[in-house]
């Protein structure tokens, strides 16, 4: 029973950390412990660490850490790429060493006999998408193609207006941004991905989505396959039969589960740890893929999400200010006009506030042209089409 409760507590704590890290900044969690945990994980812990280092080792140690941070976070470097390759290589090694000998098994048919080759192929495809996303051109805006990108992405005069990049000294097409890490302007800029050591933009968003989806599939397949391996060993070794017949344990899930879990942890702890690791990674990949799939569905980028949020907040404040001014004017006019009998308390209580009638703020995204068109724009970016090349030849 102690082992069972430890696993439950471990799972709940893992879920709390993952939810806090991914979703702690959402408005729904404002003022809650989840928001405070999110702040601690993303900013607070590092800030406390710097203070501790400064108090113990002095300012030179802080400067050394900040220089390492600058190299790892603010400049292009292959650190996370190496970590990714190490993670996928080590995970594959432990899965192969601990579980391939049990395939085929009781629940895994002979179809999986070639798992050594198919799994290696699956990992190879994942590495291929990784390399493709890492080294593909994200859609670099240059003086030679800036006019074509301006034609492909017109200004909406809401979050994008005509201006010049102060670094590249060329006009900034709509939906582009100058990446301070890569030091270049990228069309339809989404974000800079440290794992890829590359920007995610117009030309490689499709590869990035394929990378996320394929790795999510690999993790889920690994969890299911390892689960079938453990279930097969449980059946082949007749563990339930031995527990009920020789140890006299009641044949019910509630009574058998703690003993079965204890046996699995003692005999197949590597597979259990691998399943937990793959489950956590699957949750992260599913969340990230779902978020970006929704962005592709609405033809929005991560960069534009922040811009739209700021613009919508500004519009709400403007509308509220107008409604407040109108309500104040109406109140002054009412005081100067003929006095009316006061409304009842119940009518006053249920009356709508003038701020509620300030009007709903509508997001006017001119780039959202329907799901099919939006998805096709990700699969076939404008700069890869013949019309883009024809525009280039006309401008030249």
Which residues are designated catalytic? 193
- Tell me how far apart the alpha carbons of residues 340 and 90 are, in angstroms, rounded to a whole number: 81
- 178 SS3 class: strand
- Tell me how far apart the alpha carbons of residues 165 and 170 are, in angstroms, rounded to a whole number: 6
Rounded alpha-carbon distances, angstroms, from residue 46 to 16, 296, 333: 20, 33, 57
- 16 SS3 class: helix
- Tell me how far apart the alpha carbons of residues 76 and 83 are, in angstroms, rounded to a whole number: 15
Contact criterion met (CB below 8 Å) for 185 and 140: yes
Contact criterion met (CB below 8 Å) for 271 and 223: no
Name which of 185, 192, 189 is nearest 169 in CA terms: 185
Residue with tokens 């799972």: 11
Name which of 217, 219, 193 is nearest 205 in CA terms: 193
Tokens of 231: 């279930």
> Length of the chain, please?
396
Contact criterion met (CB below 8 Å) for 160 and 175: yes
Rounded alpha-carbon distances, angstroms, from residue 39 to 12, 45, 113: 19, 8, 47
179 - beta bridge partners? 184
**Burial bucket for residue 323 (CB in 10 Å: 0-12, 13-18, 19+):** middle
Contact criterion met (CB below 8 Å) for 147 and 196: no
CA atoms within 13 A on the CB side of 32: 12
Contact criterion met (CB below 8 Å) for 87 and 126: no
């Amino acid at each position: 029973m102690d082992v069972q409760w430890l696993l439950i507590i471990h799972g709940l704590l893992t879920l709390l950390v993952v939810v806090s890290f991914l979703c702690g900044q959402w408005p729904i969690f404002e003022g809650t412990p989840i928001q405070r945990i999110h702040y601690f994980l993303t900013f607070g812990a590092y800030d406390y660490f710097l203070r501790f280092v400064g108090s113990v080792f002095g300012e030179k140690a802080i400067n050394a850490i900040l220089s390492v941070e600058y190299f790892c976070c603010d400049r292009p470097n292959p650190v996370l790429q190496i970590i990714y390759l190490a993670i996928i290589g080590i995970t594959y090694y432990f899965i192969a060493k601990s579980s391939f000998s049990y395939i085929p098994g009781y629940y895994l048919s002979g179809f999986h006999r070639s798992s050594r080759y198919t799994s290696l192929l699956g990992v190879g495809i994942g590495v291929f998408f990784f390399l493709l996303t890492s080294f593909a051109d994200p859609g670099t805006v240059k003086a030679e193609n800036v006019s074509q990108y301006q034609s492909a992405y017109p200004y909406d005069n809401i979050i994008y207006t005509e201006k010049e990049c102060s670094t590249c000294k060329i006009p900034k097409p709509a939906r582009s941004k100058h990446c301070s890490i890569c030091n270049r302007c990228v069309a339809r800029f989404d974000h800079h991905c440290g794992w890829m050591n590359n920007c995610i933009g117009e030309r490689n968003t499709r590869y990035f989505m394929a990378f996320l989806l394929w790795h999510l599939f690999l993790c889920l397949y690994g969890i299911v396959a390892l689960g079938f391996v453990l279930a097969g060993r449980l059946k082949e070794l007749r563990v339930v039969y031995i527990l009920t017949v020789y140890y006299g344990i009641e044949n019910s899930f509630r009574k058998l589960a703690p003993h079965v879990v204890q046996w699995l942890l003692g005999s197949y702890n590597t597979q259990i740890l691998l399943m937990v690791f793959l489950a956590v990674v699957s949750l992260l990949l599913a969340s990230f893929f779902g978020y970006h799939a929704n962005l592709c569905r609405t033809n929005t980028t991560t960069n534009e999400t922040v811009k739209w949020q700021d613009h919508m907040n500004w519009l709400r404040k403007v509308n509220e200010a107008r409604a407040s001014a109108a309500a104040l004017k109406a109140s002054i006019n009412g005081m100067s006009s003929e006095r009316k009998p006061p409304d009842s308390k119940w009518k006053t209580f249920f009356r709508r506030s003038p701020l509620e009638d300030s009007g709903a703020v509508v997001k006017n995204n001119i780039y959202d042209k329907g799901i099919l068109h939006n998805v096709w724009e990700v699969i076939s970016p404008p700069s890869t089409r013949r019309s883009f090349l024809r525009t280039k030849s006309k401008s030249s």
